């Protein structure tokens, strides 16, 4: 059923899955409606006891734009006998394919349906998605709010966001911040770093608790030397050969290589496949190495904090010696002492006598000084 409804008779759906509306695109839509009118009606359903007789199912951007233009009425399709869940599904269906619906909004919408008893397979079938797509979106809901905001703003891409979502909250922040500040040359490197952090979470140490034996150390050294020697040969022989071939024109290579051209093509193809595979492997290894360094740095900070806390605890347990306070009568007695010349004629007073006459407060002697005094 279609009807022209007053804008004041329509309320937005508080459960609308999409929360973010691009201001620029809203302005474009307002301009289009002003010039051409509203070409597509909104979709509403009647409600009882609400703030308005009708509630939006689909077309909130059109409804907002018409209100901003000062329009009184808007064409609408009224759907009766629709419950809240069905209306919510229709709202998701309208928005889920739009470019300006953020990935976190989409994930939240699927999560609401899952909470209502929908399986990922049913959600996928309803919206024409794969079950993997739904599962990946639902996996993003473990992101901490700060990282989810980065994803919504487009600072972190969808695939990387899923890898980061697999980490604990502290490591999520580490991986996200390092990616955003440009520590990685590519998104793949950032993914490998996140996977390395995940590996560190699963096991306490990548090398084991015990130090390697002498035999293991020698094997590692030999493997490293062999790899280094192999790379050296590649740099000396293979790379110059490829560079030389790259400088030629196709017609020249056709003549120069002759019958051997097919063999060159086959060998270079194999090299390319192996190089791609090894490069990916090395990138993953670099991710693990960076994760190990991150874990080591965190452990070092924890050790420093523990040492500082222990030192502060020891300092707190030390007894505080009260400072000697001279009494007023002692100070007065000190003022009445004879001049220095007369005092010099008398034999030097004993330490106890000096204390009694109000001279400097006694200084605690060390064990060595006490021993020296006893010897005298």
Catalytic residue among 48, 60, 149, 294: 60
Handedness of CA 81, 86, 91, 95 (dihedral sign): negative
- For residue 24, give the 3-state DSSP assignment: helix
Interatomic CA distance for residues 263 and 331, integer angstroms? 108
DSSP 212: P
Interatomic CA distance for residues 209 and 322, integer angstroms? 49
Active site (annotated) includes residue 244: no
The upper half-sphere exposure of residue 110, i.e. CA atoms within 13 Å in the direction of its Cβ, equals 31
| DSSP calls for 118-179 | --HHHHHHHHT--HHHHHHHHHGGGS-HHHHHHHHTTSS-HHHHHHHHTS-HHHHHHHHHHH
Q: Cβ atoms within 10 A of the Cβ of 58, count?
A: 23
DSSP 9: G
The string over 116-139, giving b where at least 16 C-beta atoms fall within 10 Å of a residue's C-beta and e elsewhere, is: eebebeebbebbebeeebbebbbe
> Kindly report the CA angle at 228 between 225 and 231, in degrees rounded to 5?
150
Q: Which residues are catalytic?
A: 60
């Amino acid at each position: 059923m279609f009807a022209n409804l007053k804008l004041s008779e329509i309320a937005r759906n508080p459960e609308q899955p999409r929360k973010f509306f691009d201001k620029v695109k809203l302005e474009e839509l307002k301009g289009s409606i002003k010039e051409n009118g509203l070409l597509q009606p909104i979709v509403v359903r009647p409600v009882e006891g609400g703030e308005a007789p009708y509630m939006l199912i689909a077309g909130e951007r059109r409804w907002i734009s018409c209100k901003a233009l000062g329009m009184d009425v808007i064409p609408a399709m009224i759907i009766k006998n629709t419950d809240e869940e069905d209306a919510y599904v229709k709202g998701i269906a309208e928005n889920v394919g739009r470019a300006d619906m953020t990935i976190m909004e989409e994930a939240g919408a699927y999560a609401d349906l899952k909470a209502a008893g929908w399986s990922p397979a049913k959600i996928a079938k309803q919206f024409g998605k794969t079950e993997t797509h739904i599962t990946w979106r639902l996996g993003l809901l473990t992101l901490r709010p700060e990282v989810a905001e980065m994803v919504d703003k487009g600072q972190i891409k969808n695939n990387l966001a899923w890898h980061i979502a697999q980490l604990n909250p502290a490591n999520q922040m580490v991986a996200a911040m390092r990616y955003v500040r440009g520590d990685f040359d590519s998104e793949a490197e950032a993914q490998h770093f996140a996977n390395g952090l995940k590996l560190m979470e699963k096991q306490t140490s990548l090398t084991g608790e015990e130090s390697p034996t002498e035999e293991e150390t020698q094997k590692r050294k030999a493997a490293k030397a062999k790899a280094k020697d192999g790379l050296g040969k590649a740099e000396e022989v293979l790379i110059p050969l490829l560079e030389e071939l790259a400088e030629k024109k196709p017609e020249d290579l056709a003549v120069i290589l002759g019958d051997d051209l097919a063999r060159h093509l086959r060998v270079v193809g194999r090299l390319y496949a192996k190089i791609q595979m090894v490069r990916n492997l090395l990138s993953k290894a670099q991710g693990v190495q960076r994760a190990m360094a991150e874990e080591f740095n965190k452990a070092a900070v924890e050790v420093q904090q523990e040492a500082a806390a222990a030192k502060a605890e020891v300092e707190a347990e030390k007894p505080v010696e009260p400072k000697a306070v001279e009494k007023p009568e002692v100070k007065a007695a000190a003022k009445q002492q004879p001049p220095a010349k007369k005092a010099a004629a008398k034999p030097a007073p004993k330490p106890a006598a000096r204390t009694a006459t109000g001279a400097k407060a006694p200084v605690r002697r060390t064990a060595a000084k006490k021993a020296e005094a006893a010897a005298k």
